[in-house]
Structure 1
Amino acid sequence: MDTYELEMIYRDCLTVLRLLKIESPANLMFLPYASLLLYESSLYLENYYNDDEIKNINNNSNINLREVRQIVKLFNDSYEKSIKSIRRSDEITHQYFSKSVFKWRRKTDYNNMGIFFNNQSKVVANSHILLSYFLKGDKITYLLMSKEMHEYGKYIGEINAALILRINNSYPVLEAFNELPVMSNNWRYFDINTQNHKFTTVSEFVVEESILFLHLLSYLNYINYELPKFVNNNSELLLRLKYLTTYYVNYSLLKFINKKRHLKQLEPFFKIETEVEKKEVFNKDFRNCMAHYSLTHNSISYINMNDINENRLFNGLIQSCFHVKDQEYLILLDNKIERLSSIISSYLEL
């Protein structure tokens, strides 16, 4: 199993290397996923090689790789903590852009959020989505945050190169994977002011809840409509990222629903409540394998002996966890993503 896991890490690192070359806003959306893949790869290799060589490369940046990796978990904290994080990001952009307008203009005559759409008019990104994870204190400026992002992108590129080199040095016979051609995207963009732009269909929403839904939709649509343009649709890497995004979008919505239930404000959100309770595509063991690279726990394989097959995704893990064929599960997961995307979109006017 070790060689299989090393090859999986090697393939993913090469894919990350290629994706980081894309000159577009897509890079901002991919940073949390790249951080997840590289953080988990470095943990696996650190344990596998039993030395500090890999561990030391994670300590060369002011921004912690593990912290940015946590973005993939979206808003799985308490409802209150998630709303507080969103409010802080909104306040910082509000302060920055309000100071940038001429004094004689109206106080609300500026925009503090940019929203990106793909060619199918799907929301796939927004400018607030990564802000809070690059803040170094309440006084940091929006401009400095952009510089931090650029430096962090260079940092994870260095980590990625070091991981590839480390595996190559010990397993030079590993298959060389050809790079796919780098593709560019053609996103459309427009600005809004979050303080005066109503972009929800539900009057009960506060501003932060509107932004929460926009964030969830951005990640879900990015992983479903945009990333497959750059990554093979049947690849293990794409399945890993699709699963984790879907799991945490569903979980974040569940937190939202529980809060509305507590406040007795659930009526407008019944269709969300119905969908988040559908968990046929989720499995605890499968989630552990998607969040980490090891396919074993305490030396016990997550894959049943009868299901091990090198021609299946993750060596037969899907069969062991869900008792269906790989392609059947991929269809189930894509259907779940489509339903979540459609439901979230129905609450937003964009």
Structure 2
Amino acid sequence: MYDIKEIAKKLLIRDCIELSNAIFYISEKDRPVFMLASTPYICLVANEAYEWCRKAKISLTTFESKEHLENIRAKAKLFGNDTIVSFNEQRLMIESIFRTEHAYYKKLAKPYCPDFLIDDVGTYMLNNTYIGNTIQYAYDFHLFSKPNKSIHDSGDEIKSFSSEIGSMLQEIITILSGTSYRIPQGANISQLHINRDFNFKRKFKQIDNILIFSLACRINFLLHCFKKNCPQDSMLYLRLIYITFYSSRNELQNLKIDCDHIFDGYFDRVFRNCMAHYSLYQKVADNEIKLTTTGYGVIEKFFDVDYIELVNTIESKLTLILSALEMHYKS
């Protein structure tokens, strides 16, 4: 028989290490953009690790920016799944952010280009695939925004917050594993060649288009960028794509895109909670634990498939969701 708590602890330690490795594998040139896109997922893992330790009565340094941590963590669940802020409230918030960023950059450009009109958002691309955009990131970090100022003016506060997260992840790894984290050999060598694109288009004036585009960016980032910096048997990668897949159903419903068939057979709330909270208690029995499988038998318990098959299935379903989003993108 195996201790469920110890299994959850093993999963948590490995995710924290893989997350740290993913960050350091990236070249210094590409790391800032990678971090922008990764922050909601970093906050999700960091917050759940912090909460797991708290419930396990493990003493940690107090995380001073906990409110911001929880707020950005919620962004990993996408726009339609925040229990505190409704989808329509989020849509209005994004519209307000869009207008603020528009005014900021238009004012910045005016002395040099008096007739310059900003209609769009800055975008980030990897191998001709969009993986992020400036409005999405301004929304993720909006608690750091100063009144009527672009998020660009809050760089010092965001940097301080990021440092606090990094310190906390290292502390959790050290306390739970008994060994301090070390940057892996081969760090700083992943050349992703992430490009920033400022080709502005009027169609982004429709707020739902920014929502649709941002959802596609989040999915693309996980499938085409984050995956490249994870091991082939990464539960962290599965965790993030499954949470995104699960959350997408609410997004599609809010956007009035009928895709319920995509979720057949793999939309499981209990499994989602296992992925989101590292919570296995009363979800997996001791005799269902399999030490020789990726995920220690959790995947087999819920879907009767192995890790590779589940990853392939969820990736295929996310690709179908991307196609559905593209079809409903309004010109």
TM-score range, shorter chain: 0.7 to 0.9
Matched, 1:47 2:32: no
Match of 1:125 in 2: 132
For residue 109 of structure 1, report the CA deviation from its aligned partner: 2.8
Asked if structure 2 preserves the Cα contact closer than 8 Å seen for 1:89 and 1:131, the reply is: yes
Instruction: Give the conservation status (yes or no) of the 8 Å contact 2:219–2:318.
Output: yes
Cα pair 1:281 1:329 within 8 Å, conserved: no
**1:280 alignment counterpart:** 265
Q: What is the TM-score of this pair, normalised by structure 2?
A: 0.85
Aligned amino acid, residue 42 of structure 1:
Y
Contact 2:63 2:164 in 1 (8 A): no
User: Which whole-Å CA distance do the structure 2 matches of 1:64 and 1:79 have between them?
Assistant: 19
Q: Does the CA-based 8 Å contact 1:220-1:249 persist in structure 2?
A: no
Match of 1:143 in 2: 152
Work out whether residues 212 and 325 of structure 2, in 8 Å CA contact, stay in contact via their aligned partners in 1.
yes
CA distance in 2, matches of 1:34, 1:320: 27
User: Is residue 197 of structure 1 aligned with residue 202 of structure 2?
Assistant: yes
Q: Is the 8 A contact 1:63 1:134 kept in 2?
A: no
**% same residue:** 21
Provide the aligned length of Structure 1 versus Structure 2.
Answer: 315
Q: Which amino acid aligns with 1:18?
A: N
Counterparts of 2:52 and 2:121, CA distance in 1: 38
Aligned partners of 1:96 and 1:142 also within 8 Å: no
| 1: CA distance, partners of 2:171 / 2:287 | 37
Partner in structure 2 of residue 187 of structure 1 = 194
State the shift of 1:75 in Å. 0.7
Provide the C-alpha distance between the structure 1 equivalents of 2:319 and 2:37, rounded to a whole number of angstroms: 19
Call closer, same or farther: CA 1:108–1:280 in 2, change over 3 Å. Answer: farther
Kindly indicate whether residue 212 of structure 2 is the aligned counterpart of residue 226 of structure 1. Answer: no
What is the rounded CA distance, in whole Å, between the counterparts of 1:105 and 1:218 in structure 2?
30
What residue identity is the alignment partner of 1:74?
A: L
**TM-superposed deviation, 1:33:** 0.5
Aligned equivalents of 2:222, 2:111: Cα separation in 1: 41
**C-alpha distance after superposition, 1:27-50 (max 9, x if no partner):** 1111111111011011111222x2
Instruction: Select 1:336's aligned residue among 312, 317, 322.
Output: 317
Contact 1:131 1:145 in 2 (8 A): no
CA–CA distance in structure 1, aligned partners of residues 272 and 147 of structure 2? 35
User: Does the CA contact (< 8 Å) of 2:109 and 2:116 recur in 1?
Assistant: no
Name the structure 1 match of 2:7.
4
Distance 2:63 2:22 in 1: 20
* One-letter identity of the residue aligned with 1:164: I
Post-superposition offset of 1:139: 2.7
Cα deviation for residue 97 of structure 1 reads 0.6
Higher relative contact order (CA 8 A, sep 6+): 2
TM-score by length of 1: 0.81
Q: Specify the code of the residue in structure 1 equivalent to 2:74.
A: Q
Change in Cα spacing, 1:274 to 1:102, as seen in structure 2 (3 Å) is closer
Q: Unmatched 5+ residue regions in structure 1?
A: 200-205, 258-271
Counterpart pick for 1:66 among 61, 70, 84:
70
Answering whether residue 19 of structure 2 is matched by residue 16 of structure 1, we say: yes
Shift of residue 2, structure 1, vs aligned partner: 2.2
Match of 2:165 in 1: 156
Query: Could you list the per-position Cα deviations for residues 257-289 of structure 1 after superposition, in whole angstroms to 9, with x for gaps in the alignment?
Result: 1xxxxxxxxxxxxxx413566332220110110
Deviation track 1:106-142 (CA, whole Å, cap 9, x = no partner) reads 55534652111211x2211111112124234533333
Secondary structure of 1:130 counterpart: helix
Q: In structure 1, what residue type is equivalent to 2:302?
A: C
1:322 aligns with 2:300: no
Q: Shift in Å at residue 304 of structure 1?
A: 4.5
Q: How large is the RMSD of aligned CA atoms in angstroms? A: 2.7
Shift of 1:208: 0.6
2:280 is aligned, of 284, 295, 300, to 295
CA contact (8 A) 1:223 1:245 kept: no
Correspondence 1:109 to 2:117? yes
CA distance in 1: counterparts of 2:194 and 2:71, whole angstroms: 28
CA contact (8 A) 1:98 1:107 kept: no
Contact 1:115–1:126 (8 Å) recurs in 2: yes
Secondary structure of the equivalent of 1:337? helix
Unaligned runs of 5+ in 2: none
Alpha carbons 1:236, 1:314 under 8 Å: kept: yes
